[in-house]
Homo-oligomer: A and B are copies of this chain.
């Protein structure tokens, strides 16, 4: 037997021990929920720089856990994040993950209004008329639209996870989110992406399950 036969659950446990040990000297004072989120983000990326950049509005993570326990579904702007979010755990609460990016009505609406499909996908989500947790891993335009909809009282969002990755408009969109009043979790700077969005959702889902 060699390492190729290690069990996935053992590997995860050892990974978390390594992350906690290496993080210890730099660990900021975080509330325990956000600490669990941070560790899962580092687990997904092997990137310790998130310790400096992960931040959230007051009480946002706890609010999200409550919302998940009440069966709130998740909307994301990428198929990759949709693939990465733990649908088995989410299903236990009767919830699901939506990604409207490839929908034909979204493509039509984007074309008609001269917007990105990501923006039109957020409009479609808001029009569902129910509370949703948003997990944005790619499109600054999606995040900007959520900010606008929320400012105008047109969005029910117990949490906006705003972690687009990239070089253009990304930081602007995150600053907008942080300046607003919607509950958020974000990562300052250029980094983020689908695995970060999925890792944040999955960390919250595990805590929602433990709280049962």
- Name the distance in Å between A192's Cβ and chain B's nearest Cβ: 7
Q: Roughly how many angstroms separate A22 CA and B141 CA in the complex, as a whole number?
A: 24
Instruction: Give residues of chain A (168-192) contacting chain B, Cβ–Cβ below 8 Å.
Output: 168-170, 172, 189-192
Instruction: Give residues of chain A (1-26) contacting chain B, Cβ–Cβ below 8 Å.
Output: 3-8, 11, 14-15, 18-19
When C-beta atoms are compared, the residue in chain B nearest to A118 turns out to be: B8
A168 engages B79 (CB within 8 Å)? no
Q: Roughly how many angstroms separate A15 CA and B11 CA in the complex, as a whole number?
A: 36
Chain B residues with CB under 8 Å of A168's CB are: 6, 11, 14-15, 18
Partner of A6, one of B7, B165, B169: B169
The answer to whether A47 has its CB under 8 Å from any CB of chain B is yes
Proximity bits, A186-204, B CB within 8 Å = 1, else 0: 0001111111001000000
Stretch of A38-46, A60-68, A153-161 at the chain-chain interface: A38-46
The answer to whether A114 has its CB under 8 Å from any CB of chain B is yes
Proximity bits, A94-108, B CB within 8 Å = 1, else 0: 000000000000000
**A165-B45 contact given A5-B114, A8-B116, CB 8 Å threshold:** yes
The answer to whether A131 has its CB under 8 Å from any CB of chain B is no
The answer to whether A166 has its CB under 8 Å from any CB of chain B is yes
B47 engages A80 (CB within 8 Å)? no
Q: Which 10 A-B pairs have the closest CB atoms?
A: A46-B190, A79-B83, A15-B167, A4-B144, A83-B83, A18-B167, A80-B83, A3-B169, A80-B84, A11-B168
- Given A45-B191, A195-B195, 12 extra CB contacts under 8 A: A3-B141, A5-B114, A5-B116, A11-B166, A15-B167, A43-B167, A45-B193, A47-B47, A47-B191, A80-B81, A84-B194, A194-B194
Partner-B contacts on A (CB < 8 A): 3-8, 11, 14-15, 18-19, 43-47, 78-84, 114-116, 119, 140-141, 144-145, 148, 165-170, 172, 189-195, 198
